[in-house]
Structure 1
């Protein structure tokens, strides 16, 4: 571990956690956005955990740490297979009053941390969401960011659709309740963490006056969610439903979170890649989806749009042929690789010269 010294060794206002695995060239912009934060390096620390990168990310992290030794705490570990283990390792090292999780593909606006900390202090927020905007073909929630609000509800203000960990958390809340990521989940491990934090929070706030967080879809589609296999994703979706049942009593609030998981994570298992899976894998995915619909779907699946209801009903019936035909006829789900020229254009957009860390 290479710890940040920090002037005076005092408690920073915010620790930014960055879990990294093979995220070049996007990582350069991510780390540069931390160097450029208006809150200043006396009030923040960046805890960057390299989860066994092999693409040059390790060298880039070391370069930033050398040039900004008071800002970066760096850890390198063997590849764990997902963001949960490096995120937990970073939480062990974090010293800030607040913790913010930043995707290694993504970056922040220059005043993001300063404005988030100010609002959280003024509102006594335990969890604070900042406005996200997408870059590339990434999707981000919109409803929850319709307005700045000192207090939002678990349900009714869009929170179930905004369960990524890209939020500001009061670290005392995390430590008081022993909140950590489930390291058995290669995908979606942030959602149970975020759900429990929000359930235990006294106040959840939203800062939506301007874009603060830029969420990037990689040009090669290699973000962790998109490169995780269908059966692994299915197991992780099962854990999401288990987490909602653990954190919330039966009723409309729990149903609202279940609706999100049917609408997003379970439906996405039947994307354009599904028909190309081996038949035994398709059958196992189908059977697993059927179990989830049967166990958690009453009164929830009926509220989905027609397209999703039809897909999940085919899965519930085990109709693999029907699913393949449904997907083939749906242009929104027919997989289309990005043209090479577009990939190159996006890569150029996020590439930086070697002197970027000096900014």
Structure 2
């Protein structure tokens, strides 16, 4: 099989990448590695020569002046490829040791023209996992799976498929060129398989954030996104597959144009991006796709389509500072109060700002909890908890509660932005779990999440009497931030032992 590596200034990551390829369990005698040096200036060319000298029958190094993106180098490598299968590896990424052997085995077993092996992020990079969530599958399509969210070229391709349909990378795109390539391939493939039981590929975020995805300036990214959407529209006609692609492209490529990149751009570039996104939305964004966008992208793209560049800028600044806050509850729906929401004279529909689906999925604590000792409304000593929340309570919603594992629960008050509860200390010391860490959770409807904090030193320990017994009650923060309580009964024997230890130390 053939492994293609397009190389441009990726040292020292290139070394680890090549080690992971030449160390594959499939063996170098079954590999053809074609590395194309796209005008590197960081010593990457010399590194490639060293590996070619070490593996002269396996590694082929090609050189060309810098082309501005991976498409040209990848096409040149494809023209020299001889393997039954082709796999593309980013020069700053790496493979799991058994990756290629497992992928070839899956392709031979299923007859698949394309095999996706599970990708994971490294160095802080995030990789969408939706395509892998359902486990191994032997046949998927753009219409019946989240394949639209996995359009990178980091897959195993049957080379005969690529040659039969003359599938190549568009060289007029500096970024995203792998997506039209992959879309053409998945549409032509007879079978596409997914394998999830192994970490096949590690997508690395470089410490200098200089992956081409991160370094492409906004106006050029707009140009590439415009080409991408036009090609996707030309290629895909099946309604469900087209819908899935539109949701992906507007959520990801178009959405990225209106976030951090928009904030860092100058006024002229912001206006260019604003007008470009408006044209893309006018041309391609269906109302069904708009409804399926995450609220942050739905709001930003809709405001770009029907508002001004200043409106988009205000929304981008708000999201950078406040994310999806504040949330507003209204007649069973949740909305994010982005700039423009119900603004007089703007006429922006509430639907653009509707976060109900995400609120249900992302109901969570929205900041560290504070804890201390105080009293319940009825005067009993209690552990008091308070933390910020994202989602306000709706009228008629069942009361939420906090609960100590294998122990008591207490009703929680949920205001617009805060949850609060008081757990009577009498309830904490009852039970058979003394001496054990018991975490505290927050239950709201069918959802439950652990209460977390960054510092519980203000609560400390408390001596508590229940009947004729004494207990030491402590608030503890676990290594993952989870808050819990530990209860220890104070007996005469323990008090005597502690006194002896004190005297000995004295």
- Report deviation, 1:281: 1.2
The within-5 A match list for 1:5-44 is 14-44=1-31
**How far apart in 1 are the matches of 2:321 and 2:11?**
29
Structure-2 residue corresponding to 1:307: 296
Structure-1 residue corresponding to 2:94: 107
The within-5 A match list for 1:1-359 is 14-146=1-133, 147-249=135-237, 251-299=239-287, 300-331=289-320
Runs of 4+, deviation exceeding 3 Å? 331-334
**How far apart in 2 are the matches of 1:317 and 1:62?**
54
**How far apart in 2 are the matches of 1:96 and 1:69?**
17
Unpaired segments ≥5 residues, structure 1 = 1-13, 335-359
Cα shift readout 1:120-146 (whole Å, capped 9, x = no counterpart):
011001011010110123221211112
Q: Which structure has more RCO (C-alpha within 8 Å, separation ≥ 6)?
A: 1
**How far apart in 2 are the matches of 1:193 and 1:30?**
23
**How far apart in 1 are the matches of 2:129 and 2:321?**
20
Residues 43 and 306 from structure 1, CA distance in 2 versus in 1: closer, same or farther, beyond 3 angstroms? same
User: TM-score normalized by structure 2?
Assistant: 0.62
Unpaired segments ≥5 residues, structure 2 = 324-506
Instruction: Provide the alpha-carbon RMSD of the alignment.
Output: 1.4
Secondary structure of the structure 1 residue equivalent to 2:319 = coil
Structure-2 residue corresponding to 1:349: none
**How far apart in 2 are the matches of 1:35 and 1:22?**
20
Is the Cα–Cα contact under 8 Å of residues 290 and 318 in structure 1 kept in the other structure? no
- Report deviation, 1:211: 0.6
- Bigger Cα displacement from structure 2, 317-326 vs 204-213: 317-326
Cα shift readout 1:187-214 (whole Å, capped 9, x = no counterpart):
0000000000000000000111111100
Secondary structure of the structure 1 residue equivalent to 2:67 = coil
Cα shift readout 1:14-55 (whole Å, capped 9, x = no counterpart):
100000100011100000001100101111111100100001
**How far apart in 2 are the matches of 1:59 and 1:214?**
24
- Report deviation, 1:332: 7.5
- Report deviation, 1:83: 0.4
Please identify the structure whose Cα radius of gyration is greater: 2
**How far apart in 2 are the matches of 1:74 and 1:332?**
47
**How far apart in 2 are the matches of 1:333 and 1:173?**
48
Structure-1 residue corresponding to 2:408: none
Is the Cα–Cα contact under 8 Å of residues 293 and 301 in structure 1 kept in the other structure? no
**How far apart in 1 are the matches of 2:31 and 2:44?**
22
**How far apart in 2 are the matches of 1:255 and 1:96?**
35
Aligned residues: 321
Task: Report the structure, 1 or 2, having the larger strand content.
Answer: 2
**How far apart in 2 are the matches of 1:318 and 1:222?**
33
Task: Report the structure, 1 or 2, having the larger helix content.
Answer: 1
Secondary structure of the structure 1 residue equivalent to 2:19 = helix
**How far apart in 2 are the matches of 1:183 and 1:122?**
34
**How far apart in 1 are the matches of 2:116 and 2:206?**
23
Residues 287 and 333 from structure 1, CA distance in 2 versus in 1: closer, same or farther, beyond 3 angstroms? farther
